[in-house]
Structure formats: C-alpha cells, structure tokens
Structure 1
Amino acid sequence: MTLPVRNLLIGDSESVELERNLWNDRYVPAVMRTNGQSASVKVRYRGGHTRGYPKRSYEVVREGQSFHYNAEFDDPSMIRNALSFHFLPTMGVPSPRTKHVLLQRNGEPLGVYLEIEGVERKFFRRRKIGYSSLFYAINNNADFGLRVPETNRNKSSLLSGYEYRSGGSSEKSRLVSFIRGFNERSGSRLHNFLRMRLDTSNYLRWLGGAVLTGNYDGFEQNYAIYRHSKTGKYRIIPWDYEGTWGRNCYGRIVSSDLVDVKGYNYLTVKLLENPEMRRKYRSILSNAIKGPFTERALMPVVNGMLENIWPDLREDPYRRWTRAEFMGEAEVIRQYIRERRSIVSAAIRKM
C-alpha cells in the first residue's frame, strides 16, 4: 500500500524567496494538498548541515500546527527517528507522532519523508498536558551549564542555547533562575531544590531513553523543556533522534558504547549525585532492558517500518542505497540493541 501523499504548491516568486531564505528560517506562503483537501500554509527549509543536501527538509505550519518533513537523507534506514519516537513512549516519555509520507512540490515527487508532529500548543492539547512555558534547545549552549562549552567563559545569557516559544513574561527569568540555582547548590540543598522544581521521574525516563537509543546529540540540544502548569516543575520532551540505533547524525556507524550510560549535561551530573536518584535511574534502565528495549519488542517494529516504506522508497529520486543495503539496516539495528543491552546491563551493576 502506497504511503500518504503531501503536495506542497509553491508559486514561482515564493520559490525564489524560499531559496533566498535557505539559511535564515523565513517562511513563505504556500498551499498544502492532502487527501484531496487544500489548505493555506507557511513553509520554510529546516535543519542544520542538511540544508546543503539535494534532498532538503521542510517545516510546514498549517492552521497553527507545525509539521516537520524530514528528508532523513543521512539515515540509510530512514526509520531511526520514527523508531525512537515509537520507543520513547514505552519509557513513559511523551514524544512527537510520526508518519512516513510521499512529499511532492508542485506535483513533482521529492521522495519519502518523515512527517513529525511539532512540539507546541496542539501537541500538549492532544495529550491533555497543561504547560506554562515552552523552550526549544537549539544548540549545545543548552547544556544546563553556566559556561560556554567551547571557551569555558561565562555565558552572556543562560538562555543562549534556547529558543523561547511560549509563556508569560516571567518565564525566561524563571528558567534562568532554575539553571543558576541548581548549579550553585550541592548536597541536601541541591536535592531539595531539584525536587521542588524538576519532574525527576520525567527527566530520568527521558535520560534513559536518550542513553538507550544512543542519541549523542540529545543531551545538550535537540529537546524541548516546558514547565508543567499544575506542578510548576520542568519536564523534557525529546526531539531529533536521527543519529541513533548504531549510526550518528551523519549516517556513520558508531560504537554501541559511544554514549555514556549516565548521559551528559550539567543537570544530569547534579541529579545523579543523589543516591535516591541513582537508584531510580537504575530501576528505569533495568525495567527497559527487561521489556521495551529488547529485540523481541523492537525488531517486529523495525521490520514492519522497513517493509512499509520500501515500495515507495524504491522510486525515491534521491535514494542513495540499494535494497540490500536498506534492508540490511535491520541487522545494524538488531546488533546495536544486542550490544547496548549488554553495555547497559554491566553499567547498572556498577552504578
């Protein structure tokens, strides 16, 4: 069965403007045709190094809802993001919905893309989650530290790694206060501070998900942080898990022990100083490798996704790999799961 079709209709002048705006994130007006229905949308290119590729990724805003159309150009399987966002909810971490689609531009096929639900107002509404603020972690300055990673100098702003998305006028200073506050505390004062301001269960589950999938870039950027309206505590939502399951974000095979089992960033280090938090984290990892993070649970999903997209991927004008290479990704992912389980299991005993 063929994948759903999304047809972006972009005028000539808007196409010129879109190319001119390749690196500056400005939208142009367009029309999206889906299931015979047309809707006015805004569209722009998205991504980092991938904007220079022949198959580019897009962000489309339709009726106030953002959707990302990822080319997944560096992923030979084209399923690593989708597999991650299937797996993470089994860890208890709300994650964007995904769907593989055929994207067209003015009727011309662009190939198979991954449609990813944007993390914004409708994301929270669908899940009945109240939120008071929302920030995107857009570069490695979002490492929850006080200093710039490259220079070790004090950051000009503790929000320099974040894109403010929504919330009242005090929410920026509130997040700054949180970051500065836990960095300046230790011992029981630190534990009490975090217990009052961070949803530690959510954070540890998110941490475990990033560690198990091997998302090296996911600890210091590529996440969303929001303040839950009912509890007032910060929570994390994952984002951009392309460099996972045995390959990095450039599609290169990496060692299954690339990502430390304790993860990274300053908040993680501070949180895991506490013995109670380490016990909870061990329990989360232990339960995962007994259930959701197993070949038995994941490989049917992997094989199903690969088989589902291959008939259309075969006709993708930008396809880079043969069918044998594409289907061989199942074994790459299987081997990663097997090795990662062993690595995590050994680390749990020493933690």
Structure 2
Amino acid sequence: MSHLIPSYALILKEKDLKELRGDLWNDDPVPASLQVEGTTYDVDIAYRGSYTRKFRKRSYRIEFIDPKTFSGAREIHLNAEYKDPSLFRSKLSFDFFNDIGVLSPESQHVNLTRNGSLKGVYLQLESVDEFFLQKRGLPSGPIYYAANNDANFSLMRDEKMKETLLSGYQRAIGEPSDDELLLELINKINTVPLADFPHEISQSFNIDRLLRWLAGAVCTMNNDGFTHNYALYRNSGTGLFEIIPWDYDATWGRKVDGGIMPYDYVPLEGKKSNHLCYLLMRVPEFRKFYRDILEEILETKFTVDYMESNVVSLHEALRPHILLDPYKKSKIDAFDSEPELIFQFIRDRNSFLKEQFVNFN
C-alpha cells in the first residue's frame, strides 16, 4: 500500500540561506518561498527550538506573509523530531491529549525539500495562537509559552528566588496588561492558605482540564512537560486558565536524548517541581478528582488495545518515507522496533500507575 504524506518545497536565495546558517541562535527570520500542492507562499523562516538547533536536521518556524494564512494558520512549526527514533511520539501524544479532553495542537507529517535537496520527514505542528483559538470557536485571550523551567508556578527555582515571577514565560498573544493576570495567578498560588486554595484556584483554572492535562503528562511521561513544554491560555469567556501541551517528542519511554527512560521515572502525582501540581495533590477533593480521571484513562485510553491502531498506522505511513530520509534511513531497524517498544512502555506504565493507587488516598 502506498502511504502518501504532503510534500513541501522550501526555496531560499543563497544569501538568505547563508544568513540563516550563519547564526543558529538568531530568531530573526529570513525571507523564503514555500511551495505546497502547486501554490507558492511567500514566507519568513527561522530555526526553532533550543538545544535541537545543534542537530544536523534542524527544526523551523514558518510565518506566512503572502498569502497571510495557510490552511487557516498564520504560522506553523516544522519539527525534525531528530532524537525520536519513531518520529511520531509528538503526534501520538497530541492525539492522546485530544482524546482525553485536553486542548492540543493539530499535527501532521510532511516531506520537506530545501532548494531541491530532500531534508526528510518533518512533523508540521500547529502554532498555539489566535488562529488556534478561532479554529476551535474559543474566545480570545492571552497565550504564554513556557519557555524554560522557570515556568514552574513558584516564586523559586532550584531553591533560589526568581528575578521576576514572569521569568520562564513568553507572551505569544495578548497585551502587556495581561501580564498582571499571570502575576496575580502566580502570587495567588504561592500565598493563599491551603485551606482556601481549592476555592481560589477554581476561580483561576479550569480544574477538569488541568487535571486531565496532568493525567496526560503523567501517562505519556514527558519529564520536561511539568515546568516546560506547555502553553498557558486564559479563556476570556470563562476567565479561567488552561494548559496546552507542546513539544512531546521525549515521551512514551524515550528521553530527550533518545535513550530509554524507565517506565517508573515520573511519579503518579507528576513532578513536584511544578508547584501548582504539588499543591493540587495536597487537596483531598482534587486528589480524588484526579484519581477518578486517571483511573478512567488507564482503563479506556492508555492501553495497547486503544493505542495500537494509531501507532501501527503512523509506523506504516511513515516507513516508506523514512527509507528516503537522509538523516534516518540508516536507522530503519530502530524505527521498525519502535511500535513494540511503545506498546511495552504502555503495559509497564499502566501497571505501575495502577499499583501506585494503593497508597494514593
């Protein structure tokens, strides 16, 4: 069976390509053209990511200039997924989060060429911005990216006071005045007495969505996902914040360097380094709510029976293209072993989490 994925052709003038390559850490874009299905788009392009910029196969952020949108988006991300032997852990994660009721970006795999040279399989990731909200019929509201591990909802990091409570966050959408709402939230989390915390935090967060996000991060075991790798959106209609997952390639049993992560590495309650999660798990009513959500997910969604068709479909769809990917074709044996590795992780992780309920009251 032939498994087609879209082909994108990126074209840069030599001087612009030289400028792009000249400084890996420069976030300023250069002009380019992107050809998709016979249509040419004028775009701005820049590298994206942090440590991933050092890899041979780099990720890109693309903003559409003319036309100004592409498939209802102003900006897309093309992720190389370089350290993920499967190249589909991020997509598997976003699909899983969507299935358990968490706002998640859409994603699809594409083949990318640059100036006629094949760069291989990329994951196209939807940007979390005002177009993300419009597609879902959601009210406008500020959106912040958790840019580093300072985004831990605490006054401190590594036992040191932060220079500012907003360190770790980058405002993607909104006005400077919206920063006051985020400051108020972080102050509230850190100063409200625990007895008043359930009422106060319920006035600031969609608790059901928050606990579902926590359950998803715990199941997929994104070790960085508790203080990083998320976006924060405040729904102007409800006045409540929600967390949106982001960058989930180091999941389903793999670390950020591609190595194996033990299935019991992340505890049932999530990482205590996220002060919000830590406080939630100290409140009996939230612990019970979380347990009910997680138990249902472990029985219905986080199982091999439920996940198998998606894993197999992604593997089969990508395999012919992996064989042509200049960065991955020599590692086809590792790619072929990934489905069973993911299935075994689900079995082991599911059993481990259920065992932890014994001491979780």
- Asked if these proteins are the same fold (TM beyond 0.5), I'd say yes
Q: Which runs of structure 2 are paired with 1:108-127 in the superposition (5 Å)?
A: 108-127=117-136
Matched residue, 2:195: 188
Deviation of residue 166 (structure 1)?
1.7
Equivalent residue number for residue 170 of structure 2: 163
Of 186, 210, 228 in structure 1, the residue corresponding to residue 235 of structure 2 is 228
Structure 2 residue corresponding to 1:141, chosen from 150, 153, 157: 150
Contact 1:138 1:221 in 2 (8 A): yes
TM-score, normalised relative to structure 2: 0.94
Deviations 1:46-95 (A, max 9, x none): 11211111111111112252211111110111110011011111110011
In the alignment, the residues of structure 2 paired with residue 169 and residue 76 of structure 1 have an alpha-carbon distance, to the nearest angstrom, of: 41
In structure 2, the residue matched to 1:35 is 37
* CA distance in 2: counterparts of 1:123 and 1:321, whole angstroms: 36
Aligned to 1:267: 276
Secondary structure of the residue that 2:198 maps to in structure 1? helix
Aligned counterpart, 2:97: 88
Q: Distance in 1 between matches of 2:138 and 2:106?
A: 15
Residue number among 115, 139, 144 corresponding to 1:106 in the alignment: 115
User: Which string of whole-angstrom CA distances, capped at 9 and with x for unpartnered residues, describes residues 205-249 of structure 1?
Assistant: 000000000100000011000111111011110000000000011
Partner of 1:131: 140
Other-structure match for 2:216 = 209
**Once the 2 structures are TM-superposed, how far is the Cα of residue 330 of structure 1 from its aligned partner?**
0.7
Report the Cα distance in structure 2 between the residues aligned to 1:187 and 1:80, rounded to whole angstroms: 37
Aligned position for 1:50 = 52
Residue in structure 2 matched with residue 20 of structure 1 by the alignment = 22
3-state DSSP class of the match of 1:208? helix
Q: Is the 8 A contact 2:60 2:77 kept in 1?
A: yes
Paired with 1:162 and 1:299, the residues of 2 have a C-alpha distance of 36
Q: Secondary structure at the match of 2:203?
A: helix
The residue aligned with 2:353 is: 344
Quick one: distance in 2 between partners of 1:325 and 1:195? Answer: 45
Deviation at 1:187, TM superposition (A): 2.5
Aligned equivalent of 1:296: 305
Kept after mapping to 2: 8 A contact 1:285/1:344: no
Distance (whole Å) between structure 1 residues aligned to residue 250 and residue 20 of structure 2: 27
Partner residue in 2 for 1:318: 327
Check if 1:176 corresponds to 2:176.
Answer: no
TM-score, normalised via structure 1 length: 0.97
Question: Secondary structure of the residue that 2:9 maps to in structure 1?
Answer: strand
What do you get for the CA RMSD once the two structures are aligned?
Answer: 1.2
CA distance in 1, matches of 2:109, 2:75: 16
2-side partners of 1:196 and 1:81: how far apart?
31
Hey, what's the Cα distance between the residues in 2 that align with 1:117 and 1:54?
A: 23
State how far apart, in whole Å, the 1-side matches of 2:164 and 2:107 are.
Answer: 34
Unaligned runs of 5+ in 1: none
The letter for the 1-side match of 2:188 is G
Deviation at 1:148, TM superposition (A): 2.7
Q: CA deviation at 1:198?
A: 1.1
> Aligned partners of 2:138 and 2:23: how far apart in 1?
34
Percent identical residues: 38
Q: 2:160 aligns to what SS in structure 1?
A: coil
Q: Distance in 1 between matches of 2:270 and 2:330?
A: 32
Secondary structure (helix, strand or coil) at the match of 2:149 reads coil
Task: Report the residue type matching 2:214 in the other structure.
Answer: L
Deviation at 1:36, TM superposition (A): 0.7
In structure 1, the residue matched to 2:246 is 239
Aligned amino acid, residue 45 of structure 1? Y
Q: Is the 1:131–1:226 Cα contact (8 Å) retained in structure 2?
A: no
- Between the two proteins, the alignment pairs up a number of residues equal to 349
* Secondary structure of 1:44 counterpart: strand
Equivalent residue of 1:30, what SS? strand
1:73 aligns with 2:82: yes
Question: Is the contact between residue 46 and residue 60 of structure 2 (CA under 8 Å) also seen in structure 1?
Answer: yes
Aligned counterparts of 1:55 and 1:143: Cα–Cα separation in 2? 30
Amino acid at match of 1:14: D
Q: CA deviation at 1:131?
A: 3.1
Mean Cα deviation higher: 17-26 or 222-231: 17-26
SS of equivalent residue, structure 2 residue 53: helix
Contact 2:143/2:231, CA 8 A, preserved across alignment: yes
User: Which residue in the other structure is 1:9 paired with?
Assistant: 11
CA contact (8 A) 2:153 2:189 kept: no
Task: Provide Cα deviations, 1:283-339, integer angstroms capped at 9, x if missing partner.
Answer: 111010111111001011111101101101101111165333211101110110000
Checking the alignment, whether the CA contact within 8 Å between 1:132 and 1:168 is kept in structure 2 is: no
Alignment partner of 2:141: what SS? strand
Secondary structure of the residue that 1:246 maps to in structure 2? coil
Give the letter for the 2:10 counterpart.
Answer: L
Q: Deviations over 1:76-135 (max 9, x none)?
A: 111100110111111100111111110011121101111111111111111111132110
Runs of 5+ unmatched residues, structure 2: none
Residue 276 of structure 1 aligns with an amino acid whose one-letter code is E
Q: What is the aligned counterpart of 2:160 among 133, 148, 153? A: 153
